Structure 1
Amino acid sequence: MTSSLRAIAQSITLAAALAVASILPAQAAGKTSFKVGYTIYVGFMPMGYMKESGILKKWADKYGIEIEMLAVNDYVGSINQFIAGDLDAVGVAGMDALTMPAAGGVDTSIFLITDYSNGNDVLMSKSATSVADLKGQDVYLVEYSVSHYLLNRALVMNGLSGVGEVKTINISDADIAAAYLANPDMQNAAAWKPMSADMLAGSTQSKVLFDSAQIPGEIMDVFIGNTQVLKDNPAFGKALTGAWYETLAALKAGGAEAKPVNDYMASALGTDEAGLKTQIDTTFFFYTPAEAATFLTDAKTGIIMDDIRKFSFDRGLFGQGATSVDAIGIELADGTVLGDPANIKLRIDASYARLGAEGGL
C-alpha cells in the first residue's frame, strides 16, 4: 500500500467514476477474457502460483474463458486500474474497497475473501510502553490505510477517543521501514509485514503495543469485482474462485503437496522458508470455501463493516459530497443494507464461496 489513499481517492471525481461505471455493463456482456491484478502481499501470493502452475488456466478452460493474472507494482495504482475498467478484479484490503471504488461511484462486489491479518499489522514504539502512552505523540504510518484504522482501534480499545489523541504523520510504505530504523526521532509507527517485521528486527528497543490479532477479521483482504461484470459473467467468478481454493487446499495440506506453493510464495516475497512462515503464521487464511462463506455471512462481519464505514466517514474518505455515514450503501451477504439502500456501491457476495462449499464450482 502506497502514499495517502485519501489524496488518490479524492482525485477521482464522482462524475468520472460514474462515467466508467456506465460504460462497463455494455463491455461486460459476453466477455470471454478477463484481467485480475494483485500486489505483493502474503495473502495474495497464491494468485501468482495459480498462474505459474497452470491451475488458473485449467479452471479458465473449464468455463471456456481466459484469465490473465497480473502482478502490479503499485497498490493504489492497481485499484485505479480497476476503477478505470482495465482490471476486472483486484486484490485489496476490505476498507479500501469501500473508500476508493465504492466511494468513487463504482458498484463493487467483494466476491472472494482470501484472509485476514492476524498479527501482520503492528503498532510499535521505541519508547512507549502502552498504547495510552501515545497520547499527544507523533505516529508515522500510511495515512488513511489499514494502519490508520489499526491505530484508531488500538487507541479506542485502550481508553482514548481515537486518532485525534495523537498526531499522525504520513509516510509511504516504501519508506517507512528504512526511516524508522535510521531516524531516532521517529519513535512510533504502524505498518504491516514485511515492513513491520523488518522494523522490529532492526530496532532492539522497539516494542509491539498492539497488533491486528487483537481485532480478528477486521483487516480483511479480498478480491473485488465490478458488480455488473460479475453479474454478466458468472463463469469468471467461478473459475477464479475454483482455482483459488484448489491452490489453498495444497497449501493447507502441507508437506510435499504444499512445497511448490510455499517455494513460489517465498521467492515472490523475497524471503526464505522461515521468513514465509513468519508471515503465514500471522495471516488467517480461509482455506476452504465453507470457512469463507461462514465468515462472509456472519453477523460479526456486518459489525466490522459498520466500524469500517464509520471510521472512513470520520476521516473524510467518502469524499466532500458525503454529508452522512449513510451516504454509501453497503449490502451485506444476507441482503441487509448499511447506509443508503438507494445508493448501494459495495456488496458482500458470498454466492461463490457457497457454490464452492456445496461442490457447485
Structure 2
Amino acid sequence: MKKIKILTLILVLISSTNAFAKDKFSICWSIYVGWMPWEYGDSSGIIKKWADKYDIEIDVVQINDYIESINQYTAGQFDACSMTNMDALTIPAASFVDSTALIVGDFSNGNDGVVLKNKTKLADIKGQQINLVELSVSHYLLARGLESIGLSERDVNVVNTADADLVAAYSTKDVTSVVTWNPLLSEIEKQPGANKVFDSSDIPGEIIDLMVVNTDTLKQNPNFGKALVGAWYEIMAKMGDQKVLEQLATASGTDLAGYKAQLASTEMFYQAKNAVEFTKNVKLAQTMKYVADFSFDHGLLGDGAPDSGFIGIQTPAAIIGNPHNIKLRFDPSFMQMAADGNL
C-alpha cells in the first residue's frame, strides 16, 4: 500500500458503522505458526464458550491470503484480524482506521531469515540480487540486517517476488539470495548451498504477531475484548497437548515435527503476564520507531505523510509520532485482566 487511496474516506465511514454496541462480531486469521491457535479455538468450541460467557457471538474466519485479510479488516468487514506490528501500522493505521493490538501473541525468533546461496556470511550479500516480498516484514528484516553491517538497500538489488514463488525461485540459477518466513524458509534451507546468514532472532522482539481490533468497536464493546483474550489464554494453556499440536500442524499443512520446529523459532507468550511485560517494556516503543522509519522511507505511510511520525503509535511506555493522530494502540489492559484472573 504505497498511496492513501480515494477509498480511504469510504473505508473509515464503513468501519465507523461497526463502532456501536452490538452482540455479533467477526474475526479473521491466516495460516502462520503463531496464529494457528485460532483454528483450534474455533474448532474446539473454546471461542464459543467465552463468547457465550459474555452473551455475544464471535464468527471466526480463516482467510488464505494474509494481506487480503488485513484489507478486509481495514474495510470494516471484520472487527478484528491477526497481523504483524508493521502491517498494523502500514495498512489499517495508514488508512486512518484506529486499531488496537489487543493480544500480543508472540514475536518471530528465527521464523524469518535471509538465505544466501553458496555464501556463509551476511557481508557476502553486497551487490547481490535479493528476492523477497517487497514492503513486507521480510523487506524490513533485510533492511535491519544491512544496517547491522553498515550497508543499505543501495548496496543490493531487491526483486519483488510473490511468496508462493520463492521456493521455486531459489532453485533457479539466477537467484542468489532470498528473504522469507516459515514454512517457506525451512523449505529453502533444505536446498543445496543454502545458508541462513541473518534471521529475526538477531533482532528479537521486532517482528511481532498480534490480534488487532477496531479501537472504536472495542471501546463500545469491551466484552468482545474480554471474550477474545479469555479464549486465547485458555487455548495457550493447551499448547502442551500433543493432540492439539497435531491438529494445528495438519491445519497448517505440515506434520508435528514441522510445526514444532516453527514453534521453536517463535517466542510464544503462553502466559498473559509475559505478554503484558513485553508490551509495557520501553523496547516496544523503540521497535515501533524503527518500523515507522522504515515504513516512511518506503512510502508505506501514504503520500500525505510528511515524516515517519505522521501516525501516532501509543505504547504503555511512550507515544511514538504524532500524539494528535494516534491510529495504532498497544493496550495490555485486557491481557492484564487475564493475568490477574479477572476475566
- 2:164 aligned counterpart, secondary structure: coil
- CA distance in structure 2 between the aligned counterparts of 1:156 and 1:11, rounded to whole angstroms: 26
1:304-343 residue CA offsets vs partner (Å, 9 max, x unmatched):
1111111111111111111111111111124x32111111
1:48 to 31, 39, 42: 39
- 1:274 aligned counterpart, secondary structure: helix
Where does structure 2 lack aligned partners over 5 or more consecutive residues? none
Match of 1:211 in 2: 199
- 1:204 aligned counterpart, secondary structure: coil
- CA distance in structure 1 between the aligned counterparts of 2:142 and 2:14, rounded to whole angstroms: 38
- CA distance in structure 1 between the aligned counterparts of 2:17 and 2:147, rounded to whole angstroms: 45
Match of 1:159 in 2: 150
CA RMSD, 1 decimal: 1.3
Q: Which letter maps to 1:281?
A: A
- CA distance in structure 1 between the aligned counterparts of 2:72 and 2:205, rounded to whole angstroms: 27
Match of 1:149 in 2: 140
1:269-327 residue CA offsets vs partner (Å, 9 max, x unmatched):
11111111111111110001101100011011111111111111111111111111111
Indicate conservation of the 8 Å contact 1:132/1:159, yes or no: no
Count of residue correspondences? 343
- 1:277 aligned counterpart, secondary structure: helix
- How far 1:264 moved relative to its partner? 1.2
2:319 to 326, 333, 337: 337
- CA distance in structure 2 between the aligned counterparts of 1:155 and 1:50, rounded to whole angstroms: 39
The alignment status of 1:275 with 2:254, answered yes or no, reads: no
- CA distance in structure 2 between the aligned counterparts of 1:303 and 1:285, rounded to whole angstroms: 20
- How far 1:26 moved relative to its partner? 4.2
Q: Could you tell me the TM-score, scaled by structure 2's length?
A: 0.97
Q: Which letter maps to 1:118?
A: N
- How far 1:18 moved relative to its partner? 3.3
Match of 1:287 in 2: 270
- CA distance in structure 2 between the aligned counterparts of 1:45 and 1:260, rounded to whole angstroms: 14
Match of 1:353 in 2: 335
Indicate conservation of the 8 Å contact 2:4/2:94, yes or no: no
Q: Could you tell me the TM-score, scaled by structure 1's length?
A: 0.92
Match of 1:32 in 2: 23
The alignment status of 1:296 with 2:279, answered yes or no, reads: yes
1:75 to 52, 66, 70: 66
- CA distance in structure 2 between the aligned counterparts of 1:49 and 1:104, rounded to whole angstroms: 31
- CA distance in structure 2 between the aligned counterparts of 1:18 and 1:247, rounded to whole angstroms: 37
Percent identical pairs in the alignment equals 45
Indicate conservation of the 8 Å contact 2:18/2:76, yes or no: no
- CA distance in structure 1 between the aligned counterparts of 2:112 and 2:17, rounded to whole angstroms: 40
Indicate conservation of the 8 Å contact 2:3/2:301, yes or no: no
- CA distance in structure 1 between the aligned counterparts of 2:154 and 2:341, rounded to whole angstroms: 48
- 2:223 aligned counterpart, secondary structure: helix
Match of 1:177 in 2: 167
- How far 1:12 moved relative to its partner? 5.2
Q: Which letter maps to 1:102?
A: A
- CA distance in structure 1 between the aligned counterparts of 2:155 and 2:44, rounded to whole angstroms: 49
1:243 to 207, 228, 231: 231
- CA distance in structure 1 between the aligned counterparts of 2:9 and 2:97, rounded to whole angstroms: 6
